[in-house]
């Protein structure tokens, strides 16, 4: 599975491999506070898509 973060313009800014059915930490410390979009791909197909609000 892949976890992909996009800015509000739809530009991919972060991508990380994740494992299904496990808790996974994704390091977003290099991103500024704000609103982002993310999606999770499973076998190359869309599994989840949502908004992410980052507040440090």
pLDDT computed for residue 39 by the predictor: 98
User: Is pTM, for the whole model, over 0.85?
Assistant: yes
**pLDDT surpassing 90 at residue 6:** yes
Q: What are the tens digits of pLDDT across the range 22-51?
A: 999 999 999 999 999 999 999 999 999 999
Are 49 and 41 contacting, i.e. CB atoms less than 8 angstroms apart?
Answer: no
pLDDT computed for residue 8 by the predictor: 95
pLDDT computed for residue 20 by the predictor: 86
Residue pointed to by tokens 């908004």:
51
**pLDDT surpassing 90 at residue 52:** yes
């Amino acid at each position: 599975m892949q976890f992909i973060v996009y800015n509000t313009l739809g530009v991919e800014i972060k991508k990380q491999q994740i494992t299904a059915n496990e808790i996974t930490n994704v390091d977003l410390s290099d991103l500024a506070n704000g609103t982002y979009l993310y999606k999770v791909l499973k076998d190359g197909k869309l599994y989840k898509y949502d908004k992410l609000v980052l507040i440090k």
